[in-house]
Amino acid sequence: MVAKLTGRIVYLNDKDYTKARENLNLFNSKFPGAIVYCEKEVDVINALAWARENNVSFRVRSGRHSYENFSVLNGGIIIDISELNKISVDLDKKIATIQAGTNLGKVYTHLWECGVTIPAGTEFSVGLAGLTLGGGIGLLSRLFGLTCDNLIGLRIVIPKGKSEAKVVDASRETNSNLFWACCGGGGGNFGIVTQFHFRVHPISIVSLFRVEWDWKHLEKAYNAWQTWAPFTDLRLTSQLELSTKSKNSIVAEGQFVGSKADLKKLIVPLVKNTKPRKIQVTTVTFIKAVKHFNNPAGNIPSFFKRSGSFVFKPLPSKAIEIIKQFLSDPPNEEATIWQQSLGGAVQQIKPTETAYFHRKAIIVQEYNTSWEKEEDASINLSWVVALRKALKPYIQGDYVNWPDVYIKNWPETYYGENYARLRKIKTEVDPFNVFRFQQSISPLP
């Protein structure tokens, strides 16, 4: 077989190259030899076969949100699937067929026009593929589960023989091990997904809340939120953003699939005795809600560092004090510690039932910092690393969609007890370790 690259190809000297090579994280950016924009599934097959046949390194990219830039490389090619973005919905069967390069903005908008949705993330520019393959946490998680929990089938391009590529279908009935691995086993480990089939949920009106506190009430606000948010009505998923001391702002927001009157009752334990400076409760259409939670800045390239962890039981006062100390002495005013409630439908699935392992966690938390000048990288990186280390006695694991190159025992941290099975599946599907990057799953020797 003699493979050829097909699709829209951007080379090093093309005028579009600078924009095409760019990922959202400008820190540690890369310069690929070419970017292959796959316009059809066959372009994906051809790109993988060509890379193998010519012994050329490659990475797979969709929404460009890889925190550690695992989806780009120096030299080699990027196989970009963002132009595979068609959607169709069968309302009778309540199934959506969505090409894997589609971003969340298009997913939410198209499904809303059909009166349905899937649980997914909040930033519109995020690619559906990376989100789903790592699990998929969002503001419908407690009611409908993770994005991958609503996946019923997919098409994926995998290695064939020593130098070729092929496309296979995977579901609970067909290639079931591979399907299991694609439900939380992380993007870029086993193949290149071209299409998903999701179970969809009818949705129309939702209610939102927003509660703000002065920074001096951090301990009370945090404790009230963490002992309430993962245990309240599963129709309510919420998040808490802890800002730096100088910004004087602690904010809790959430989405409830129900009435404004019921939501007001549900947030009583959160606001009682915590002295909020502002409380808002509104009812809106679901599409307005997802637009509200979307952060347009999430699509603007910048220098940033992210890491995260899971919380399995409410943090003690000592851990909250550590959080407060780090936010009192941040690398910049924009640093934050962000939390989202879990439990509910996420917890109703066993940790080994999908590759996503951290089912029993009650909270997922993210450590965020960004900077404007490249020379400020060191102080920002050090802050995130030190924060994660200081909280280590009180946290477990990390969400694979928030990778961190400073985590040494990343296989256990991302995948827990599921890593051994993931390696066996990797050995079956990709024995020559064609799909590899800095923190990729390796086949057994």
Share of the chain above pLDDT 90, in %: 98
DSSP for 320-364, please give it. Answer: HHHHHHHHHS-SSTT-EEEEEE--GGGTTS-TTTSS---TT-SEE
Co-location of 308 and 160 in the same domain: no
Q: What is the domain extent for residue 113?
A: 87-202
Secondary structure class of 83 (helix, strand, coil): coil
| Average pLDDT for the chain | 97
User: Looking at residue 298, what is its pLDDT?
Assistant: 75
Percent helix, percent strand, percent coil in the chain, to nearest 5: 30, 25, 40
Distance CA 195, CA 154 (A): 5
Mean pLDDT confidence for 258-266 = 98
Do 227 and 334 fall within a single domain? yes
Confidence category of residue 3, pLDDT binned at 50, 70, 90: confident
What band does 2 get if pLDDT is binned at 50, 70 and 90?
A: confident
| 118-174: pLDDT as tens digits | 999 999 999 999 999 999 999 999 999 999 999 999 999 999 999 999 999 999 999
pLDDT in tens, 206-222: 999 999 999 999 999 99
CATH code, 31: 3.30.43.10
Question: Domain for residue 306, yes or no?
Answer: yes
The C-alpha atoms of residue 99 and residue 83 are separated, in whole angstroms, by 9
Give residue 349's pLDDT: 98
Domain identity same for 235 and 369: yes
CATH of the domain at 127: 3.30.465.10
> In the prediction, which pLDDT does 1 show?
65
Q: How many CB atoms lie within 10 A of CB 167?
A: 19
Considering the domain architecture, whether residues 162 and 17 belong to the same structural domain is answered as no
Find the helix or strand (DSSP H, E) in which 379 lies: helix 377-390
Is the same domain home to 70 and 91? no
Question: Is 104 found in the same domain as 67?
Answer: no
Structure tokens at 269: 């334990």
